[in-house]
Amino acid sequence: MYTNAKHLSICLINHNSQELTTNCLRSIYDKTKLLSFEIILVDNNSTDGSRESIKKAFSQVKIIANKQNKGFAYANNQAIRMAVGKYVILLNNDTILKNDALDKMVAFMEANPKVGALTCKLYDADGKTIQRNCRTFPTPWGTMFGRASLLTKLFPNNPWSSKNLLSNWNYDSIREIDWASGAALMVRKSVIDQVGMLDDKNFFIYWEDTDWCKRIHDAGWKICFIPEAEIIHFTGKGGGKRGLFLSNLMIYQMHKSAYNYFRKHYLKSWLNPMTTVTFFGFIVLTSLKIILNSIKITCKRR
């Protein structure tokens, strides 16, 4: 048993997701036995009674109640400010621990002091299919071979997409990586003190984890993956149901955040021709995806 008063601070965000968040919390308490931990839950203006239900069922959870939804990064920063643990983990509320994942992750961090951030093996809802939650750092020109890009969908085994998505790796070995999804990302509190929290000015939702890992990496820390810690991730369920407007808004936010990331790390001057090309490229791509998404959702309703 660890002797620290609070070894781990677990940051959760809830928005109209009572069942998912409850299942996530229950799995944490059921599977985490070696750590002294705290859970800080930020409720982003839920209207389904989930905040009240969670407070009643889990009185030990610290709850921050927001009157408006200011995004994933902003809410996590609220939790991080309250955190007293040696380690902080961002954990999506649409996850459940498959094993003693948090115990294993903290044990790895304790044994590897040069590791600043850590992720683990994520599974789809079936508990068998591995999610590819680790990547190489993206570049403006590398977005042509991203997970959701047209080239990757048409030619999934092309060498550039495979390199970007680490497609030739089976996720069965410890590995140093560039960045990992914020669905389950553990960071040393001392590293956060050094590089800062999530950038909630540039990233409402999406890409905040990429930016954070980039800053951690650039500060000289290792970012690693371990296979023995296992978590099930019900991808895309944690934000509640999305209608046409919200679905298109998320597409816009995703591409806006991507552009902000490239502007921040690669395209810092408008004198760089690539900045203008990237800007108009994202306008065209975002517009096209919103149109296609609108057609898809409208057809489903008929």
Where residue 164 falls (left for φ over 0; alpha for ψ -120 to 50; beta otherwise) is alpha
Radius of gyration of the chain (CA): 19
For 225, the token pair is 């993956």
pLDDT tens readout for residues 154-190: 677 777 777 778 888 999 999 999 999 999 999 999 9
Query: pLDDT at position 165, please?
Result: 80
Query: pLDDT at position 147, please?
Result: 64
Query: pLDDT at position 4, please?
Result: 46
- SS3 of residue 194 by DSSP: helix
Query: pLDDT at position 1, please?
Result: 41
Query: pLDDT at position 118, please?
Result: 99
Query: pLDDT at position 3, please?
Result: 44
- SS3 of residue 138 by DSSP: coil
Query: pLDDT at position 302, please?
Result: 61
pTM over the 0.85 mark: yes
Query: pLDDT at position 275, please?
Result: 73
For 254, the token pair is 């995703």
Query: pLDDT at position 236, please?
Result: 67
Helix (H) or strand (E) holding 20, with range, is helix 18-31
Low-confidence ranges of the chain (pLDDT < 70): 1-5, 141-154, 236-242, 301-302
Query: pLDDT at position 150, please?
Result: 61
